[in-house]
Amino acid sequence: MKRYLAVFGLIGLLYAPAAAIAADLKLVVLGDSLSAGYQLAAGEGFPEQLQRALDERGHSVEVVNAGVSGDTTSGGLSRLDWSVGPDADAVIVELGANDALRGLPPETTRSNLTEITKRLNERGVEVLIAGMLAPRNLGADYAEAFDPIYGDVAGEFGALYYPFFLDGVALDPDLNLADGIHPNADGVAVIVDRILPTVEALLDKAKSS
């Protein structure tokens, strides 16, 4: 009986998904609905599609979905310690879209992202900051204050920087849900394809550190 169980256990390991087998690195996606898979079927969200892309490229990494729909940078900061565990090697910070949609003060967004990145930096966790752009209906002054936040924070802490998380997807009806805001599965695939080189650079930093 033990021999049969051992054989079945071996078969299970051979056919288990790559993420289910102990990976060398853990990558956490700390985000909002844009990365959490809002209204998408299982396996269609950003963390899941990113996991498959990294698996296909031979990376030994587990991608963890720590996205919460509706979250602001304040929410991300308040849950940082339990969303990003002590075993995390790298984090993609994708927050701020809801700050802008609600017209929250850009200085608040800057302060929260700075504190998030600072804490992760102090823990020795490598960070990739995924930028966001303010809706243009909020006016030029708001956009001028909001848009540079991400690059500034990344530069301050030596974090990697991807200028616009929705690059190639925003405002394209074929790549978004009916609300025109959240990417559909095809839109997520575009995001993953475009951000993948920067994510691979993040993993390289995590390995070397």
Q: Give the pTM.
A: 0.89
Q: Give dist(CA 150, CA 133) in Å, integer.
A: 9
**pLDDT of amino acid 208:** 93
Residue 147 CA to residue 106 CA, distance in Å, equals 9
Q: Is 182 a catalytic residue?
A: yes
136-183 pLDDT per residue, tens: 999 999 999 999 999 999 999 999 999 999 999 999 999 999 999 999
Specify whether the CB–CB gap between 76 and 95 falls below 8 A.
Answer: yes
Q: C-alpha angle with apex 25: 163 to 125, nearest 5 degrees?
A: 55
Q: What stretches in the chain show pLDDT beneath 50? A: 1-20
176 touches 185 (CB < 8 A): no
Tokens representing 137 are 């209906």
Q: What is the pLDDT of residue 6?
A: 42
Please tell me the predicted confidence (pLDDT) of residue 21: 63
- Which residue of the set 35, 71, 147, 182 is catalytic? 182
Catalytically annotated residue among 32, 33, 35, 147: 33
CB of 140 closer than 8 Å to CB of 153: no
- What residue type is 80 in one-letter code? L
Calpha distance 176→188 (Å, rounded): 9
